[in-house]
């Protein structure tokens, strides 16, 4: 069993909503152009206030690589599985597209891939990790909003950020225990 625990710490206040990450993801992972074909996204939060007192925030996100993994729990063929490092992956050849995982995911992180004819989602660019390369979204970001790393390694940048800052997670009430942490302050 690996001691590694991969995760991403995000400093969304630095996000410019430039979509570099979403386009990078599409090329790196061969995701087709298409309204529903996306692994990651940058959502504009609702505009707060009225002219001229306004506030606008952005929230980049993707598969949360939950420790308590509803998508894997409902997958009848074990096509969705978790690696030792806690990365949630899909074995395309086992996927029967029953879409149970899509309904089970509280983050709408999954979609039917027109390329693989299977359910697809963010893999933390698992194929890059052995080469020591960061996920494409992390690497390409102008302001490096996402910081990827081994949360079990106290010397990793991600672990240090996590130790230093208050963070929030998406939908904690679902008890999915996501591996994505958003810095509050």
Partner 1 sequence: MSAHDTETKQGMVSAIKSLITFNKDIPVMPLIIIGLVLAGIGAVTAVVVLVKGHEAMYAVNREVPWGMLIGTYAYFVITSTGLAFIGGLGHAFGFENFAKIGRRIVVLATLVLLAGFTQILMELGHPVRMIIWMMLSPNFAAPILWMGVFYSIELVILALELYYAFKAHPTEKDHKTAAMLGFAAMVVGTLATSNLGFVFGSLTARPWLYGVHFPLFLVVSGITAGAALLMLVHNIAYKFSIPEEYKPSMDALAKLMGGGIGIMMLMYLWKFLTSIFTQPIGSYESAMALIAGPLAANFWIGEMLLAVIIPLVILLTAKGSTKKYGIAGLIFMIGLYFTRVNYIVAGQMPVMRKATDGSGVHADLSGLGIYSPSIAEWGIFLLGIGVAMVLYFSAEKFLDLKTPEHH
Partner 2 sequence: MTLSGMNISRRKFLAASGGVVATGLVAANLSTLKAVAGGHASAPTGEKGEKHIASSCEMCVNKCGFFAHVVDGRLKKLNPNPKFFKSRAMLCARGNAGAEEPYNPERLTKPLLRVGERGEGKWKEISYEEAFKLVAEKLKEFKVKNENRCSVAFASSEGFQEEIFQYLVQSYGSTNTVRHPTLCLSSVIQGWSSVYGVYPDADLKNSKFVIMFGANRAEAIVTPDTIDFVKYKPEGAKLIYLDPRFTNTAAKADKWFPVKPGTDLAFVLGVINVIIKEKLYDAAFVEQFCDGFADLEAMIAPHTPEWAEKECEIPAVEIRWVAREFAKAAPAAVAYPGRRTSWYVNDVYFRRACAILTAICGCWDAPGGICPKASVPIKNLDPLFPYFEMSDDRIDVASTVKNKLPKDKRSENMPTDSVAYLGEKDGSWLRFRDAIIAQDPYPVEAMIVYKQNFIEAVPNRAKTMEMLKKIKFMAVIDIQMTEVAYFADLVIPESTYLERWDSVHNLAGIWPIATFRQPVVEPVFGTKSMFEIAGGIINEMLKLPELWDDADELEVEDFKYDVVEDIFGKPMEEYIKRQLADHPGAYEQMMKEGVFYLSDQAVYGKTRNPEFRFKTRTGKIELANVKYADKGLNPLPIYAAPRQPEPGKYRMILGRHGFNTHTGTQNNEYLWEIQKENVIWINTQEAKKLGVVSGDYVTVKSSVGEQQVKVFSTEKIRKDCVFFAHGYGRLSPQLSLVYKKGASQAAILEDYLEPISGNAAMHETFVTIAKA
Q: SS3 sequence, 127-174?
A: CCHHHCCCCHHHHHCCCCCEEEEECCCCCCHHHHHHHHCCEECCCHHH
Q: Which is nearer to partner 2, 57 or 153 (CB)?
A: 57
Assess 117 for contact with partner 2 (CB under 8 A): no
- CA separation for the pair 106, 32 (Å, rounded): 23
Q: Segment 131-170, which members bind partner 1 (CB under 8 A)?
A: none
Assess 62 for contact with partner 2 (CB under 8 A): no
Assess 142 for contact with partner 2 (CB under 8 A): yes
User: 13, 16, 84, 108: which one contacts partner 1 (CB under 8 A)?
Assistant: 108
Q: Tell which residue, 61, 71, 65, has the closest CA to residue 21.
A: 61
Residue 136 CB, shortest distance to partner 1, in Å, is 17
Q: Which is nearer to partner 1, 83 or 102 (CB)?
A: 102
Bridge partner residues of 7 (DSSP): 149
Give the other-Cβ count within 10 Å of 114's Cβ.
13
Cα 10 from chain centre:
10
* Residue 142 contact among partner 2, partner 1, none, beta carbon within 5 to 8 Å by kind: partner 2
Q: Which is nearer to partner 2, 14 or 152 (CB)?
A: 14
Size of the chain, expressed as the number of residues it contains: 185
Assess 126 for contact with partner 1 (CB under 8 A): no
Residues that bind partner 1 (CB under 8 A): 17, 19, 35-36, 38, 41-46, 58, 61, 70, 72-79, 93-100, 102-108, 111-112, 114, 117-118, 174-175
């Amino acid at each position: 069993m690996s001691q590694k625990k991969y995760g991403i710490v995000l400093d969304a206040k630095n996000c410019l909503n430039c979509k570099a990450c979403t386009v990078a993801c599409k090329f790196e992972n061969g995701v087709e152009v298409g309204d529903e074909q996306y692994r990651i996204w940058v959502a504009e939060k609702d505009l707060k206030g009225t002219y001229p007192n306004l506030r606008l925030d952005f929230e980049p996100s993707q598969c949360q690589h939950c420790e308590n993994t509803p998508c894997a729990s409902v997958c009848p063929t074990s096509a969705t599985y978790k690696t030792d490092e806690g990365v949630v992956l899909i074995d395309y050849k086992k996927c029967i597209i029953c879409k149970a995982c899509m309904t089970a995911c509280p983050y709408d992180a999954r979609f039917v891939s027109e390329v693989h004819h299977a359910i697809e989602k963010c893999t933390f660019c698992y194929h890059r990790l052995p080469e020591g390369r960061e996920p494409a979204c992390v690497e390409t970001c102008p302001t490096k909003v996402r910081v990827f790393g081994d949360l079990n390694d106290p010397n990793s940048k991600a672990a240090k950020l996590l130790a230093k800052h208050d963070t929030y997670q998406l939908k904690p009430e679902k008890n999915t225990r996501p591996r994505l942490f958003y810095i509050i302050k």
